[in-house]
Amino acid sequence: MNQAILTHSLNLRYWGSFPTKRGIVLGALAVNLGTQIRTATK
């Protein structure tokens, strides 16, 4: 549940930065990359 809320808030932030469908996709990819990097660093 917390993960979904966190992802939603991140999506809103990216939506504000890139108000396009491409921006949403790039935002989702950026979040995905950040999660992978964080996991790999642990």
Distance (Å, whole) CA 10 – CA 7: 5
| Predicted confidence (pLDDT) per residue in 17-41, tens digit | 555 677 778 778 888 888 888 888 8
| Predicted confidence (pLDDT) per residue in 1-10, tens digit | 577 767 777 7
The CB density around residue 39, as the number of other CB atoms within 10 Å, is 8
Q: What is the pLDDT of residue 31?
A: 87
In the chain, where are the structural domains located?
A: 16-42
How does residue 14 score in pLDDT terms, banded at 50, 70 and 90? low
Q: What is the pLDDT of residue 18?
A: 53
